[in-house]
Amino acid sequence: MGHSTDQTSRRGGRGPKIERLADRYDLTGLGDELVAAWLGEGREQRSLRELEVYVNKRLIRAALDDAGAHVLDGEVDNFYRLLTSDDVTAGSRTEARNTLKEKGVDIDQLEADIISYQSVYNYLKRHRNVERDSPDEDDEAAAKSGLDTIRKLRSRLRVVTADVIERLADANAVFIGAFEVDVDIRITCTDCETRLTPRELLSTGHCGCERTADE
């Protein structure tokens, strides 16, 4: 795999992220496999969420294999949970990261490569142009999940900021009357300079670039 510690490498290059990961981790045919699984070709249809989990577990397994690490039964599933679950404590996540480092895994690269199911959605819908014959709720679910995640983080940032300001005010480090904290999130495409809120971006599904642009 030959991971680089260069920041540009961690962020990826041009082209769909799924295809970049398939190249980086030697997962030949990953894109075709996702298309077949989502469409249910010769098998039961799988959801975007299921495909997200599937890809991420394959990344973790490939990173461990590339490092020459011995992998126990259930170890990949456990690492996936520790690295991605909201219910995991910071201490447990740090311990998992350190264990992977000790096994020879470039944990910074691996964490940068872990995908959301929005990445699966973008790949299937925008880059492979595939649609299911039967209606499904994946499109709406992907947008709703993304907005819910951003909303939770924004709310958490608002609470943390207010707490810090209150503590500083109590310590007479700053002076401020009654106050409110606003968190305004905007996403700017540096290619077309379109500036959108997360809701606007997820509602339209694209910026001002052509729909074939890299995700």
Q: What pLDDT, on the 0 to 100 scale, is given for residue 8?
A: 41
Percentage of the chain lying above the pLDDT 90 cut:
41
Q: Which range among 55-64, 83-92, 134-143, 171-180 shows the weakest confidence by mean pLDDT?
A: 134-143
Q: Stretch 14-26: mean pLDDT, rounded?
A: 90
CA–CA separation, 62 and 21 (whole Å):
11
CA–CA separation, 155 and 149 (whole Å):
10
Q: Stretch 37-64: mean pLDDT, rounded?
A: 89
What residues have CB less than 8 Å from 101, skipping those under 6 apart? 107
Q: Stretch 195-212: mean pLDDT, rounded?
A: 74
The model's pTM is 0.61
Q: Is pLDDT above 90 for 87? A: no
CA–CA separation, 18 and 154 (whole Å):
28
Segment 126-160, tens digit of pLDDT: 899 888 765 455 666 666 767 777 888 888 888 88
Q: What pLDDT, on the 0 to 100 scale, is given for residue 151?
A: 81
> Higher pLDDT residue, 7 or 94?
94
Q: What pLDDT, on the 0 to 100 scale, is given for residue 206?
A: 77
Upper half-sphere CA count for residue 106 (Cβ side, 13 Å) = 17
Torsion angles phi and psi, residue 187, rounded to 5: -115, 120
Q: Is pLDDT above 90 for 119? A: no
Percentage of the chain lying above the pLDDT 70 cut:
85
Q: What pLDDT, on the 0 to 100 scale, is given for residue 136?
A: 53
Q: What pLDDT, on the 0 to 100 scale, is given for residue 34?
A: 94
